[in-house]
Every structure is written in C-alpha cells, then in structure tokens.
Amino acid sequence: MSYQVLARKWRPHSFTDMVGQGHVLKVLINALDSNRLHHAYLFTGTRGVGKTTLARILAKCLNCETGVGSNPCGECSACVSIDEGRFIDLIEVDAASRAKVDETRELMDNVQYSPTAGRYKVYLIDEVHMFSNHSFNALLKTLEEPPPHVKFLLATTEPKRIPITILSRCLQFNLKHLTTEQIEVQLKTILTEEKIPAEDISIHLVAAAADGSMRDALSLLDQAISYGDGQLDETQVRDMLGTIDSNDLSGLLEDLIGQDAGTMFERINRMAEMSPDYDTVLAELLSVLHDIAIAQMLPAGSNLVDAVAGAFVDRIKKEDVQLYYQIAMNGRRDLYMAPDPKTGFEMTMIRMLAFRPLEQKTGPAPKNSEPANEPMKIQGQVADEQAPPVMGNDSWHNLIDEMALDGLVKELAGHCVLKERKENRVHLILQSARDHLLKTTQKEKLQDALRARFGDEVKLVITVEESPAETPAQRKIRESDEEKQAAMDAIEKDPHVKAIIDTFDATIDKDSTRLHP
C-alpha cells in the first residue's frame, strides 16, 4: 500500500477533530443542531488553517444519512463518499482554474437540478476571490435566491477581493492562525500514534516554523521524519530548517554578558558553516529575550519560566534585555539592506556589544581631561539599575524615539542637539531657524517626558544658537538620502536592469523610485 502523507492521513473528519477555531465551530454546531441553516457560508483565513476541511465536514453534517446535525456518523455511504472525495452531490470547484464566465454559468445552470444521492447539493468553491467580475455576477444571480436544496460553501485567503454584493449574502467566518502551542499538542499526538520517537524541542521547532498553519506543520513534520530517518532529532531538525542550536543562542547571550567579542565572532563563524537563515536566528533570539523579560517580571520559581530564560533572569539587567530586544528588532528589519545576511547579523550583534549603558565611574577624573558627564539617576534608584542614560548626542537621537514624543514636541526635540548633561540638568541647543518651536507648552511637555524617564529633579534648558552637531531631524534626512542613493546604486548595477537599458535605450526615472517600507 502506498504511503499517505500526514497532511491527508490526519485531516479532521469531524468538528471534534479540529484544532482551534472554537469561535467558528460553536456557531456551526449550534446552527446545525437547531436547524437554523444559511444558504451560503464564507470561510476566510491564511493557508492551512482549515477552511476547506471545515467546509467538507459541514457538507457531511448536511448529508449524513442519520440526519442533519453536528455529529455525522462517519460510516454511512454519504459520509464515506465525502471523506474519499467521490460524493456526487459535493461539487468542489477551484476558482483559480475555472475563472471564466462561461464555466461559471455552466456550473450555475446545474443548480436547479435536485441532488442525486444526498439531502443537499453542496457547492464548495475554493479560492473564490480568483473569479472574474463576470463570474461573480453569474454567481450572484444564483446566490441571491438559490433553490432550497442547494448550499454554497466559499473559501478564500483574500476576502478583500470579493465584491461586497457577494459578501453581504454569506455568513462570514474568519479562521485564525493556530498558536505554536496548539500545533505542538497536535504534533505530539500524531507522533505518539505513529510511534515515531521525537524530542520535545524538535517538535517545538517544527510547530514554530509552521507559522500558524497546521498543514504546513504536517508537511514539515513529514520532511523532518524523512530527514531524520524515522525520528525527530533537534540537531537534524535545526539543520533542515536552517535554525541554530539552542546552545548557540545561549552562547551569544553569554558573550554579550561577558563583553567577549572574540568568542562571539568565533561562534558566529561556526554558525555560518551551517548556512542558517539569519532572519530566523534573530527571530529566535528575540523569542529568548522575550522569555527572559517575562521571567524578570514574574516571582522567583514561577513554573512559567523555561530553563533558558531561567538561566539568564538574574544575569542580565532588565534594561539590557530591553535594549538587546530593540536592537534585534531593528537588525531584523534592516537585514535585507545589508551586503549579505551574515554581515547584517554581525552588525546587529556588534550594536548589542557597543550600545550598552555605561556604568557609573568613581574616583578622581584624570588630569587635563574634560569633566565627564555623570549618568542621570531615576528617582529612588542607583546608577546600576537605571534605564540607558543620555550620555551623548547619539543617545539623544535614540531617546527621542524611546520617549514616544509626538506633534510639535517631537519636532522641537528633533531640531535640538544635546550640548551638555550635568547631574540633573539637560542643556539642549535649538537651531535658530527653528526658534518658532520654542513655545512654553512644547518645552514643558518635553521636560515632563524627560522627568517621566529620569526623575522629577530633571531640569531642561534650551538655548537658541548654531551648533556644528547634527540634529536628529537632519540625521533622518541624511540617512533617508543615503538609503535612496544606495538603492539607486543597486538598481543601476543590477545586470537585468543594465540589459533592459542597453536593449531598449531606456533610462531610469529616479523620481519614481521608492524605498521598501
């Protein structure tokens, strides 16, 4: 007997077999058991969350020989035929391959005829958004007043492409992404039934890689079983998915704690030998940092803290965790702009090493040196426990975003540079061309934002004068111009673009270029 893939073998055959989607199941079960049936149902959601499966189960509920209800017997000829895909009164249509209006009209012409073997003639139209406008019009005429023996079950991943006239005639159900935990539980059940040995971490990796899709999870599980020669091993699953060993993630955090750049780069080079997906690596690092942040907010000994987070909960400051998380988020966003993914990943880790809060130093200052700015303290806290202080003009750029300013207050801050910070006094310089922004209200709001972050003793001083330093507003304009120029350089160097220019004597409309959002 030929092998049956897990996605088909473990397809749910009843509502009780479904994983998740309880909000949809409750409505359908109540409607079936109370005989309050609509003539058209629309199931929406991303790939692999159960749209078509749910529609087939509903078709069984409508045509089971024991009667209409939410628990089809699964044994009568109608139930068996639907499960095997050969029930004559279940007409499954792929709208992508039957989008022509003539085909749709032919399909609708047969609606008037009574079912041959079942109680209802059920039309299951998958990816219905692929219909043309003429096809939708042909469907609409029948959908308005269908015969009592006909039910329409529509499925789509893009409901926004369906005309409102169709939507208004259907009961709509939006199927949600499945959580990693829901997928994990189902995978463990399947592996137990299939008698396949598997490590818990390998199951988690497959569930996480599925990104909310049970079908994707089962396809990946099939692949992982084959890759591991009949079992799921963490190392082999990571190798298959392009992820890195959990010990490497912990090692990167150890290197950050110890400020050990040499060991960190050696570790990254070893990781590179496995050709990992660096976007996934950053995503995993973000997940670990997220777990550590949660663990730091929970009481000691909480059973919600996993082993990895527990190992770092008291070793990394809360402020550092937040800083690392933000840097990793930005690094993941900018990864596509790096010369290559490894370089982008390395620069992200370098930022984590470089941009960490400076510790308060004690002892006399060296002779012939400028007095150092002391870290600004938050009320009731010592310097070790404070959030990243304003240490220089670069930190002022970052602080504006972190304080979540808006409106004229953000504009005022964006056109200032940090001249000096001494004890609880912050001295900013405002460009003379922007002195109209220096209103009492804006200044007070900016001072309130600084006090909310660093304590009520902070005093803000703003003077209007010229400064050679770059303001945050000027910096953003410069960086935007540099990104646009880099993008234009990449376009002009692209061999395909060059070929088009040479072949058609074309030119590039530079004003029309836009950066990826």
> What digits encode the pLDDT tens for the residues 419-449?
887 777 888 888 888 888 887 788 888 888 8
Give me the CATH topology for the region 180-241: Helicase, Ruva Protein; domain 3 (1.10.8)
The separation between CA 421 and the C-alpha centre of its own chain, rounded to angstroms, equals 39
pLDDT value of position 30: 92
Among 23-37, 99-113, 167-181, 276-290, the minimum mean pLDDT is found in 99-113
d(CA 284, CA 246): 9
Please give the average per-residue pLDDT across 212-221, as a whole number: 89
Q: What percent of the chain is modeled with pLDDT above 90?
A: 12
Dump pLDDT digits (tens) for 285-342: 898 898 888 888 887 766 666 777 778 888 888 888 898 999 999 998 888 888 889 9
| 259 confidence band (pLDDT: 50, 70, 90) | confident
User: Looking at the chain, how many residues does it have?
Assistant: 517
pLDDT > 90? residue 57: yes
Which neighbouring-strand residues pair with 152? Answer: 40, 123
Say if CB 375 and CB 360 are below 8 A apart: yes
**pLDDT band, very low/low/confident/very high, at 152 (cuts 50, 70, 90):** very high
- Residue 226 pLDDT > 50: yes
Q: What is the pLDDT of residue 516?
A: 52
Instruction: Name the architecture of domain 6-174.
Output: 3-Layer(aba) Sandwich (3.40)
Task: Please determine, for residue 495, whether its predicted confidence score (pLDDT) is greater than 70.
Answer: yes
In percent, the amount of the chain with pLDDT more than 70 equals 88
pLDDT for 376 beyond 70 = no
pLDDT surpassing 70 at residue 512: no
- CATH class belonging to 383-469: alpha beta
Range from 10-14, 177-181, 343-347, 511-515 carrying the lowest mean pLDDT: 511-515
In angstroms, the Cα distances linking 217 to 38, 47, 90, 220, 306 are 32, 11, 28, 5, 23
- How do the domains of the chain map onto residue ranges? 6-174, 180-241, 246-354, 383-469, 474-512
What does 408-469 look like in DSSP terms, one character per residue?
A: HHHHHHHTEEEEEEETTEEEEEE-GGGGGG--HHHHHHHHHHHHHHH-TT-EEEEEE---SS
Q: Answer yes or no: are the C-beta atoms of 356 and 260 closer than 8 Å.
A: no
Collapsing DSSP to helix, strand or coil, 51 comes out as: helix
Mean pLDDT is lowest, of 204-213, 376-385, 386-395, for: 376-385
What is the H or E stretch that residue 328 is in? helix 318-334
pLDDT of residue 345: 92
At 258 the pLDDT is: 87
Burial class (CB in 10 A: 0-12, 13-18, 19+), 440: exposed
**Do residues 471 and 433 make contact, with C-beta atoms less than 8 angstroms apart?**
no
* Rounded average pLDDT over 41-46: 90
Residue 371 pLDDT > 50: no
Domain 246-354, CATH among 3.30.70.1350, 1.20.272.10, 1.10.10.10, 1.20.1530.20? 1.20.272.10
Q: pTM for the full model?
A: 0.56
* d(C-alpha 310, C-alpha 304), whole Å: 10
Report the chain's mean pLDDT, rounded to a whole number.
Answer: 82
CA dist 57 and 13 (Å) reads 6
40, 172 Cβ separation under 8 angstroms: no
- In contact, 268 and 345? CB cutoff 8 Å: yes
Q: What is the pLDDT of residue 110?
A: 82
